Amino acid sequence: STVMNITFFVGALGLVFLTISTSLRIDWMLFPTFLLIGFMSVVTGLFTVQTGLLYPEGKSRDRVISGLNALLDAGGMTYLVLWFVVENTEFSLPAISGLYLGLYVLIMGVATFCWIQVHKLRMWQEPLNVVDDSFDDEAMKQPKHEDMTMTGTTIEVADEYAENEGNLAVSASGDDPCDTCEVGGQSECTTRNDTAIDPKKSYTIIAMRPPSKQLMSKQFLALAGFFAFHQSHNTWILTTTKDFLSFLGDDEYGNKYLSIFTLLTPVSILGLPFVDIILRKYGYSIGLHFINLLGIAVGLVKVTSTNLSVQVVGFVMYSFYRCFVFSITFSCLPTFLGIDVLGKGCGFLILYGGILSFIVNIPLSNVTMNRLGRDFFLANLLYLIGCLPCVALCEIVRKGFAVEKAAKQS
């Protein structure tokens, strides 16, 4: 609720700056305007996960997170609506900015009020599954073991990431990787590839580690790298589609295909049932592989055809791709990060994606526009090839889930 209060104030201030700068034509004021509105947009996007945590773990939580992310994608329609308003009405930019400010105060004000009420209700509830962060790194280095309970499962806490993580196997459907698992003095958990987990090598569930160790876990870093690439790819498509289609001749059709691209943005909502089916039947790791497949499909359409009508197929695939990237990734995080670290985890995912986008997309667009004559073939080919290393990152995440499952059942 505190974060929402700050976000509400920052976003409102940004829109006030926008109204002033457009009314008085003060160009320099647009820079703090974009910074403030950008901060508000990012934090509001992160609240899709926090809202999902209000629901029970499983289908309900995943559907809420996925649905909110799809609605966020549908907001891309705003550009087309604004274009229609400018072309067909007498509304000026200052008037539109003022209208936005009024709608923002109404909608975000209600959202902030609701989060305050949620906070008050939770203050009266008994905390559930709260991880004790009082132990420090030094305590984790101690050789002794102690029993800790998490969601009804007792596990042995140790100080090292499981060394046999790479030897675990789990089926593509995300089923339990263990055929048998006996608990006892000499117990062991045998995987389907007959690789045994040595009970003497204890494994600390990621959610039970100190916050810094959770964010440095192999599973989180792999997911962060995976998301950073696909977020950068998503940003590249959003920011270059107009010039890409223009190079293919869309200007001659009055930006017809750019309008189609924008109109198809809300199609991402139609991807929600497919996200739900994939997560329920096959699990998160296979869902991440589907993201790769969609990214490859989008890239193939761009590099193999200059026909504008064929690009429409790529628009549809992109809408599904965008839905899958955010829905599956953010639904995946709460399954292994602790609740107290989840907000930081989401923030770092967005941060890493932003950094990669800044490092890659700006130079790439400059080269494409100024040295390659606005030909996007090479840039799109690089992003297509970039999807291949992401397969390895998916495998790291899959093996991480296998280790977590085996540890919880041992």
Tokens of 240: 């270059």
Contacts of 198 (CB under 8 A, 6+ apart): 164, 188
Nearest Cα to Cα of residue 331 among 40, 41, 44, 57: 57
* Residue 358: per-residue pLDDT: 92
**Tell me, what's the pLDDT at 100?**
85
pLDDT digits (tens, 9 = 90+) for 307-355: 999 999 999 999 899 889 988 998 888 889 988 888 889 889 989 999 9
Alpha-helical (H) ranges within 189-307 are: 211-215, 218-247, 256-263, 272-281, 284-304
What is the structure's pLDDT at 45? 76
**DSSP-assigned states of every residue in 55-74:** S-TTHHHHHHHHHHHHHHHH
Question: What's the pLDDT tens digit per position in 49-87?
Answer: 778 777 777 777 777 887 787 777 777 677 777 877 877
This prediction has a pTM of 0.72
Q: Is 79 in contact with 87 (CB distance < 8 Å)?
A: no
Q: Convert 150-184 to b/e letters by CB count within 10 Å (16 or more is b).
A: eeeeebbbbbebbebbeebebeeebebbbeebeee
Phi and psi, residue 306, nearest 5°: -110, 10
Name residue 205's beta-bridge partners.
none
Q: DSSP letters along 127-159, please?
A: P-SPPP--S-HHHHT-S--EEEEETTEEEEE-S
pLDDT at 201: 59
- What's the confidence (pLDDT) of residue 408? 80
Per-residue confidence in pLDDT tens, the chain, 410 aa: 778 888 889 999 999 999 898 888 888 999 999 999 888 888 887 777 778 777 777 777 777 887 787 777 777 677 777 877 877 888 888 888 888 889 889 988 888 888 888 777 777 664 444 444 333 334 333 433 333 333 333 333 333 333 333 333 333 333 333 333 333 333 334 344 433 445 445 788 898 999 999 999 999 999 999 999 999 999 999 999 999 999 999 999 888 999 899 888 777 778 888 888 898 888 888 999 999 999 999 999 999 999 999 999 999 999 899 889 988 998 888 889 988 888 889 889 989 999 999 999 999 999 999 999 899 999 999 999 999 999 999 999 999 988 888 888 77
Q: Are 342 and 53 in contact (CB under 8 A)?
A: yes
The whole-angstrom separation of Cα 131 and Cα 206 is 11
pLDDT score recorded for residue 178: 38
Cα 362 to chain centroid distance, Å, stands at 21
